[in-house]
Structure 1
């Protein structure tokens, strides 16, 4: 069996059996395609530890991030562990493959005042009645108000939102469903979009399949993550001084919740984190901000 053949079979296993998210499966596919290219024409049973180390060293030489190399290490380990269990290879060459330690990078967070200014400006633009402006305002209000992922927003259907209870049912990583609350500003923006903008966008649809989608693109189909990235980058990027994506709104929401005294486990549940340790990074963000304020304000700092 060739490496690329094994990689494709393993990717199907991740999607169909382990039910990992499409984004995770796509990333693993890309990593293992790079491994196959690095190893050349040798078969899967002929790959040894040195081949794997050389492949990772090539990533290091290209200046790839530690997190990327760590993910590639995990992809290789997963592939060879699976291949060993399935009997495709007699021994696992990745057992002694060591991943680099991930450096802790604090997420980029916007202040509450900054987000208030951005969303107020977007609300003023939406008031003019342009359907895309109404949609974009509703999306950013929901990204921040419910602390959801971009994939979760794009996957929402009309029936997933309870406007009376101000909750949305989202499908997170690993196909795990959860219900998240959102505030009155997000409700108002969503109501305005659904009533005034969505019918206009739906009328532009040229193909089927999007009639139940909540957020629609300019041509009437379900909006994709790339379009949401572009909106966030345009509206929030100048305020944060650089490239910024939808996750910045999720980071900001989590940090502001903890700053306001929310319970860490409640925030974990709202974000849909499997591990409390993932949520705890936002306590570090809050601590960093407190320390910065202390250094600026306290006379004996």
Structure 2
């Protein structure tokens, strides 16, 4: 809701009253910001304007809907980048108790930084933690022994009446603080979201439980979780290599050559075929090297 109000406020500042906004004016406004907006954010902005102008048209506040015919924003598919195990372990070794607990909740339970920031002892029931996620949707995530021991240590040191991760002036830390503290230890190129990617990718690889990982991460759609089943470029390369016609082509050409050559009668056809396969394999290795 805040994002949509912000989108409409920017449009109002650019175009003025509602009756002044034509399709041309709307497109000019969008063009002004196209360089600074990512495709994913631009898609959200377009959706905000379409919803608003459809509402305004239904209530006859405008004669024409200026958002009709706007281009469709296509968001490129990005493969997740899970934080590597050595990066996560190095960060854990450098972290304080508070930071280590944050890191574990991100890398093991797959919590978002906003969910980490608002974690509270009252939400813990034994080895489970209630999490308030996107859209105020609640889910329960299990705690492993390491994360549990860190949270229990914080409870012992700080008490259980306030958040695990406390702000300087009361309440909980800001999600940006979680990001900042963990990024300091994770290093360049890695952040809290890469910890969440790690939880999803590692969980899927170990359990193959797509539905379970969806529940753990709090994804509203299974399609969101399915991006973690995407294979890497290296995996695709190995599949292509396995599918390659290269060895078969070499084997076929050797076969054609040898069958047109006189061979001793003592050598059977099966032995010839076996020799060709061995030679084809070695030639393939030589050429690939």
Task: Pick the TM interval, shorter chain.
Answer: 0.7 to 0.9
Q: What is the deviation of 1:29?
A: 2.7
Offset at residue 255 of structure 1 (A): 0.8
Match of 1:3 in 2: none
1:89 and 2:33 matched = no
1:233 alignment counterpart: 183
After TM superposition, the score normalised by the length of structure 1 is 0.73
Could you tell me how far apart the structure 1 residues matched to 2:99 and 2:215 are? Answer: 26
In the alignment, does 2:173 pair up with 1:223? yes
Alpha-carbon contact 1:112-1:256 (below 8 Å) kept: no
Q: Give a deviation string over 1:30-65, Cα, whole Å, max 9, x none.
A: 3222222221x3x213312112211121122x3432
Alignment map for 1:210-289 (pairs within 5 Å): 211-236=161-186, 238=187, 241-242=188-189, 244-284=190-230, 287-288=231-232
2:232 aligns to what SS in structure 1?
helix
Counterpart contact for 2:94–2:185, Cα < 8 Å: no
Give the deviation of 1:288 after TM superposition.
0.6
Match of 2:103 among 140, 146, 163: 140
Q: How many residues align?
A: 244
Is 1:157 matched up with 2:107?
no
Structure 1 position 120 matched with structure 2 position 126: no
Whole-angstrom CA distance in 2 between matches of 1:117 and 1:262: 27
Work out the CA distance in 1 between the residues paired with 2:113 and 2:58: 35
What is the rounded CA distance, in whole Å, between the counterparts of 1:111 and 1:154 in structure 2?
Answer: 23
Q: For residues 177-201 of structure 1, give each alpha carbon's deviation from its aligned partner in whole angstroms, at most 9, with x where no partner exists.
A: 11112211111111112112x24xx
2:27 to 50, 53, 72: 53
**Which stretches of structure 1, 4 residues or longer, exceed 6 Å deviation after superposition?**
297-301
Give me the TM-score of the superposition, normalised by structure 2. 0.75
- Does 2:42 correspond to 1:37? no
- Mapped partners of 2:81, 2:10: distance in 1: 30
Q: In structure 1, the residue corresponding to 2:207 is in which secondary structure?
A: coil
Matching of residue 98 in structure 1 with residue 71 in structure 2 = yes
Does residue 168 (structure 1) correspond to residue 129 (structure 2)? The answer is: yes
Quote the offset at 1:90 in angstroms.
Answer: 4.2
Contact kept, 8 Å, 1:152 with 1:171, in 2: the verdict is yes
Residue ranges of structure 1 left out of the alignment (5+ in a row): 1-24, 123-132, 203-210
**What is the RMSD computed on CA atoms of the aligned residues?**
2.6
Asked if 1:185 corresponds to 2:180, the answer is: no
- The gaps in structure 2 that reach 5 residues or longer are 243-284
